[in-house]
Chain A
Amino acid sequence: MSPPVEQIQHEPLRAGQALLSRYAESTVWLARYMERIENLARIIDVTDTFTRTSQTENGWRSIIQINADEERFYATRREADVANVAEFYVLDRENPNSIASLIHVARENARALRPLISTEMWTHINMFHNWVRQLTRRDIGPSQLSGLCARVKQECQTHNGITEGTFYRDQGWYFYSIGKYLERGDQTTRLVDIKYHTLLPREARIGSQVDLSQWSAVLRSAAAYHAYRRVMPRSLTPAAVAGFLLLNNAFPRSLILTLRQVNWALGQLRTDYGLRRGGDALERMDELRASLEDQTIQQIIVRGLHEFLDWVQLQLRHIQDDVADAFWTLATAPIEPAVAIQTFGAAPPGAMSQTMGGMTQTMGKPEPDPVQT
């Protein structure tokens, strides 16, 4: 007979186990990719509705602009029409910004995080992934596209719900929040930036019927239409819409609200876990929030909305870099210079390509299985 099983007692938490840097990094990316998928589905959906009801110029091009994918798109396709754009952004595995590619990298991160995340989170991502990866051109036809986007949105929201309900609230949760809200804030600035400029080409159009429907479409894509109506029942102007999406204190996708969430998560890492390392990110965050709180939307527009949003996007990127430097890039820098981390499974953590488009993560390449037993 073997001795009875004895439980090994650990401290309840907090001081306990420190999160592996690699897990922190993957958590941020998992959150970002899931959020990005939802935003992409929203924008495809609203563009689909919008282009069908409007006689104006091609709205599909703006999705390509939002993602800064012009070069990649036009390298293989001539016309920015519904069939091409939907194929490019839903199915195309060569396009790293497609839903098919994003769910794949989201799942690869989830796979790396399997020891950390709940089984329910993993199972859902896995099923979502398997569903997306079996989609074909038939599923993105004109009569299917809106339903497909609705399903994608729903899956992302299911993910959020499962995560909220099952993800253990330790450091991992704060990193998840940082990733999710950085991405959401970034997506909101992109939406405002592109729409403001594509929808506002000439003075003459302002206030016209077309313009209004376009702006309500922008609101709808961010699920902001009713909230906006409630807050501002009497007017719908481009400036007010931009102001709502950027500065409203209560709307869950507004830039300022997402920044507050990032700030909260960074602060928790410091207070709950004594991690002083996030200081740079917090400082930058304070500066960014101050610049938003100190200005009205009119002031921002007068000073140049596009330039301002460009600056915000750059700050968000710097915050991500600060977080990476603090918690994985520098924290995990090789101590011996001789340690070569080059090829398999060992992409330098935190390395990312900085294009005009969304930030992406560098992943290791698969190599043959080294274990034989």
Chain B
Amino acid sequence: MSGPSTPASPDLFSGYGTPRFFCEIMKGLDPNEPTVSLIRERLRAFDVEELRRRATAAEAELYNLGITFTIYSDRDAIDRILPFDLIPRILTAKEWDVIERGVIQRVTAINQFLWDIYHDQKILADGILPRELVLGNSNFRPEMMGLDVPMGVYVHVNGTDIVRDDQGRFLVLEDNARTPSGVSYVIENRHMMLRVLPDLVAGIGIRSVDEYGVRLQQAMAAMAPAEVLDPQVVLLSPGIYNAAYFEHVFLAREMGVPLVEGRDLVVENARVYMRTIAGLRQVHAIYRRLNDDFLDPDVFRPDSQLGVRGLVDAWRRGNVAIANAVGTGVADDKAIYAYMPRIIKYYLDEDPILDNVETNICREREGLQYTLDNLANLVVKPVGESGGYGLIIGPHATRAELDEFRVKLLADPANYISQPVINLSTAPTLCEDGVEPRHVDLRPFAVTGQSTWVLPGGLSRVALKKGSLVVNSSQGGGSKDTWVLSS
């Protein structure tokens, strides 16, 4: 606290202390990297109050712009913003190179894997993966067998969740190969940053994130039926009541294509049309933001009002392209995740550029034994569940809980994997009491058409609660602008 007569020279990091974990800005792998040092010194010159004022302005702007997700109740619609932390997350060109190559490698392997399991299933015949793990998986879609997707691409848009451990190693935590969301925040956060902190950004070479819409549009157009010269691309959204509707709008605008809902589309003679004021107009490629289950009541959930009857048939006949393809969920499933290093090796004959978090497969004897021996130090997850259900975090569990879990694990070991607890890296974040370290992750987005392109940046989510490792927006997570330095 300084009175008006004693202008203390500000130091944003004065109360930061020595970070306990790997810190993205203060204790990186290359702390003397000149651009990172420059950014750090510019940040240091801010005082907390000034930064807070700008944060307040940014928040008001997000609210006014309607960059929100909306929670509907019977009577009301409440808009929430994803909290935006002004201190950027920085990735050097060297770090980005690893991520970019690693993501491309992973997406390539995932697409080859999906083609294989929906065609010849060589990987199963070769015993690399247990047959029932794939064929018995609830995300495996038998409807997809033998369907030749254009260019062999199933996953056109992929989000790879990456964390850093206390050594600063990048580790993949999860693949999102269905309808990953969050890319709109990557781009909007950058726009916001340029408006609110121009003095921080000035003169620093940051890779642009503005190309995403064009790249996505190109990938969609590339997969449209070959005989169509100027394909009609649309984005299929569940509609304004969906929590991610803002992102759907954002992407439709960036791509310059209509945002349609299921009710805007109709299938006639195995062709997809949209209803326009001039009558029906044929649609050639659909970027859908609707889950498999809801896509087509003829094939999946018969009660779905959101999808389009006959869509899958039209697709199967090659009259329309759909991204992402149906049935990609089998590739980003937790059970399959554990095998991803082997999948990469099998199809590409390469070692993974980005490692998995070390994962013990309890269906295998060694993995089970290791898990039982180290239960108190591991996170054990059931593979069939999502949203953190049924898992146990060893270090946080009581003796009795561990004993109880041991019984469950032994009864059905194939249903479990185990991982060490990762001390996620942290980044300086504006908190109530000043700037403090908070845990972050990273979700880069890859777009695949003729080839795979990775948006230089990604969604950096930050756990705003002190000590929390959970970055999800539903549990007090926020986001940061992610700067990939150009050199």
Contact of B305 among A93, A335, A343 (CB under 8 A): A343
- Contact check, A371 vs B290: say whether CB atoms are below 8 A apart: yes
Q: Which residues on A sit within 8 Å (CB–CB) of B275?
A: 20-22, 328, 331-332
Size class of A's contact patch?
Answer: 35 or more
Q: Are B176 and A369 in contact (CB under 8 A)?
A: no
Pick the contact of B274: A20, A111, A171, A342 (CB < 8 A). Answer: A20
Which residue of chain B has its CB nearest to the CB of A336?
B309
**Interchain CB contact under 8 A, A8 and B221:** yes
With a CB–CB cut-off of 8 A, which chain A residues contact B242? 369-371
Within 8 A of B (CB), among A336-358: 336, 338-346, 349
CB distance from A98 to the nearest CB of B (A): 14
**B64-72, B117-125, B352-360 - interface stretch:** B64-72
Take A8-B218, A10-B230, A371-B289 as given contacts and tell me if A335 and B266 are in contact as well, using a CB distance cutoff of 8 Å. Answer: yes
Binary flags per residue of A356-373, CB closer than 8 Å to B gives 1, else 0: 000000001011011111
- State A21–B243 Cα separation when bound (angstroms): 24
Which residues, 256 to 291 on B, are CB-close (under 8 Å) to A? 258-264, 266, 268, 274-279, 281, 289-291
Residues of B contacting A335 in the complex (Cβ-Cβ under 8 angstroms): 266, 268
Chain B CB within 10 A, most for which of A3, A21, A104, A171: A21
Q: How far is the CA of A364 from the CA of B260 in the complex (A)?
A: 15
List B contacts of A2 (CB < 8 A).
451-453
Determine the distance from Cα of A339 to Cα of B306 in the docked complex, in whole angstroms. 12
Q: Does B95 contact A (CB under 8 A)?
A: no
Q: Is the CB of A371 within 8 A of B238?
A: yes
Contact in complex: A370, B253 (CB < 8 Å): no
B249's partner among A24, A115, A344, A372 (CB-CB below 8 A) is A115
Nearest chain B CB to A320's CB is how many angstroms away? 15
CB atoms of B64 and A126 under 8 A apart: yes
With known contacts A2-B453, A345-B241, A373–B266 Cβ distance under 8 A? no
Say whether, besides A275-B278, A344-B306, A369 and B266 are in contact (CB < 8 Å). no
Contact A339 B278 (CB under 8 A): no
Cross-chain contact of A338 among B176, B309, B452 (Cβ < 8 A): B309
Give 3 nearest A-B pairs by CB, closest first: A18-B276, A366-B72, A332-B275
16 extra interface residue pairs, beta carbon distance < 8 Å, beyond A331-B279, A371-B291: A2-B451, A8-B221, A20-B274, A23-B258, A24-B277, A327-B277, A328-B275, A331-B275, A339-B309, A345-B306, A366-B72, A369-B238, A369-B243, A370-B306, A371-B238, A371-B242
> 21 pairs across A/B with beta carbons < 8 Å?
A8-B218, A19-B278, A21-B264, A21-B275, A21-B276, A22-B263, A273-B278, A275-B278, A328-B275, A331-B277, A339-B309, A341-B263, A341-B305, A345-B239, A345-B306, A349-B263, A369-B238, A370-B294, A370-B306, A371-B290, A373-B180
